[in-house]
Structure 1
């Protein structure tokens, strides 16, 4: 059986056996459960507790009405739930006092699912924007993903900060442009304008980078143009060809003289800034798609703990933040805020403290006893779980 499903069953069984366990699960929400029937039942148990169910004020064995009323309440929102399944959940719980640990497992699964879902949405938004020649939806979805990661970090009890993986991520294929022919044409026109039009590099050099080109050869040519511009040398098709040769592009077969001539002959009277924006727009949507794919791969790694998953995902958004900052420069707007928020100096919120304590409850006997002092008398043991008559 799936470990996550067993954890969901165990935490529900613990609450059905001992409603007081809900006080240790205030950080767990119904939508953290994967199965709809489990979501409905946990929500029903929470509602009955908040409404002051009579079973909570009784002494002795827990009345059966606690289970039957929870099943009835959950049945208003989901089909197929029976009292027999509720007793199956009770049997699936080894120890009611372990409910916070079972709840932590449920929260871990919810974090992985949530990150994966938002990564898929970012990828879809990026591809749709690439087809339409826009970037707004991809940027908005990236902001939502960053906010979700920050909220999940606080729920888990950690500070959201970009952290690179200990081992380099496996190489993945670079996402192809949504309109490869149009993108390639825009890049050729831009290179032609930058080569043949005097002073054109001044319009784009502050914010356009070689990595923004989908075609690696076009990126290498732009790097050559940037080197000529940086040294203050004249730029034309001859100096560009010479710089390409000095960088070994002709020797290793990356570029031929005929290819360079074809690029330069495609020059049309236009604005380098206009074509540069088109290239930059394509770069932003490709980068957003690449970040989304990387984050989804992280979320699918079940061995990755939630804290590391969140921080690695924030790190995977870094390339998009860098491209986005240059996009803002190109458009004369303010740079976006950093993806991860800085740690608060006023102390962590109570919900984060409770979540952290639920994950780090010390085991009995973990601390060595002091040798010079007598062992103190044990405190009153936790009362056993209440059982149904």
Structure 2
């Protein structure tokens, strides 16, 4: 049996056997279940609880109406649910008192599944924006993903905070370059040529454009050389740029050639460095969003990764996009965005978060000492029963 399917069935069977278990599952939502029939049934059970169903009156035996009414309510929203399947759920539940543990398994599967779905949407939005020359879709889906991560963290009972992983994901899918890659490379070359021809234009872009924003690493290195000359107050032209590139070893390690630099600087016409810089920044935003989305998806598809670590790693993967977004908004004269990761409350985590964490991990009661302590056991007799073999 699929473990996730078994956990979903066990949760529902627990509540059908013991309606009081719903009070320990307030952090679990219907959409955390994978199967639509399970979503509808869990929502129906919660609705019956909220409506004050007689089964919650505290009697020792649960009336049959608790099962039949739940099936009838759920059948209004989904097809294929029968009373026979409800009794199947009851029969596969090992222990109704273990409902919070079963619910934790359901929530863990939902966290991986939800983060994967939103990462895919972010990647699709980034690629669409790259083709259309925009950034709004990618930034919107990044905000949605950040909100989803915050909500999942609260339900799981952990503090959402970016945590760098010890190692990158083993398999991160690499998407092909968008169709506008050639146009982006042309804008980058044109921007570099304008900056060489009009050195004062560096003041228009140096405050928010970075070498990493260039898709072509060679172009980024040339922009770094221009930035170094500008920072030192030295004159900028094709000769000084070539000299700076040589000093940085770009000509000897194969990053650049003299012919490439000459081709960039020759034939330049009038152009706006600010407009071209914003074009490079737009490509940087969508490219960074796609990279973050692919990294998050790779983490989410690793079923061995604990949900708390997955959430925090995903928040860390959104960090580079937040940094690029801040500079993009600076270039457009907009205020800086709010941080992706919520700031921890000075009064501690919210009550709902504490309740979720406690519901997932109930401490064992402490062992009571004997009323009349006997003589001390010999070392050989003090072994745990589990280590004594017949």
Residues 238 and 247 (structure 1), Cα distance of their counterparts in 2 relative to 1, 3 Å cut: same
**Number of positions where the alignment pairs a residue of Structure 1 with one of Structure 2:** 372
Is contact 1:177-1:183 (8 Å) kept?
no
Match of 1:140 in 2: 140
Alignment of 1:57-206 (within 5 A): 57=57, 59-170=59-170, 172=172, 173=174, 176-206=177-207
Residue equivalent to 1:380: none
**Counterpart position of 1:322:** 323
**Unpaired runs of at least 5, structure 1:** 375-389
Q: Which position in structure 2 is the counterpart of 1:42?
A: 42
Does the 8 Å contact 1:41/1:71 carry over to 2?
yes
Q: Which protein has greater RCO, CA pairs closer than 8 Å, 6+ apart?
A: 1
Whether the 8 Å CA contact 1:298–1:304 is kept in 2: the answer is yes
Q: 3-state DSSP class of the match of 1:200?
A: helix
Contact 2:28 2:155 in 1 (8 A): no
Distance 2:358 2:252 in 1: 62
> Residue 278 of structure 1 corresponds to which residue in structure 2?
279
Q: Deviations over 1:147-187 (max 9, x none)?
A: 11112111111111111112344485586344111001100
Given the two structures, how large is their TM-score scaled by the length of structure 1? 0.91
Q: Distance in 2 between matches of 1:207 and 1:174?
A: 27
Determine if contact 1:134/1:281 at 8 Å carries over to the other structure.
Answer: yes
TM norm structure 2: 0.91
Report what 1:251 is aligned to: 252
Residue 372 of structure 1: CA displacement?
9.5
Partner residue, 2:296: 295
Q: Deviation at 1:348?
A: 2.7
The alignment's C-alpha RMSD in Å is 1.9
Instruction: Decide which moves more: 146-155 or 314-323.
Output: 146-155
Tell me the equivalent position of 2:16.
16
Which secondary structure state, in structure 1, belongs to the residue aligned with residue 200 of structure 2?
coil
Q: Helix, strand or coil for the counterpart of 1:199?
A: helix
Q: Is the 8 A contact 2:71 2:82 kept in 1?
A: yes
Instruction: State how far apart, in whole Å, the 2-side matches of 1:373 and 1:278 are.
Output: 82
1:193 is paired with a residue of what secondary structure?
A: helix
Matches within 5 A, 1:331-350: 331-350=332-351
Q: What are structure 2's unaligned runs of at least 5 residues?
A: 374-390
Alignment of 1:209-220 (within 5 A): 209-220=210-221
TM-superposed CA distance for 1:61, in Å, is 2.7
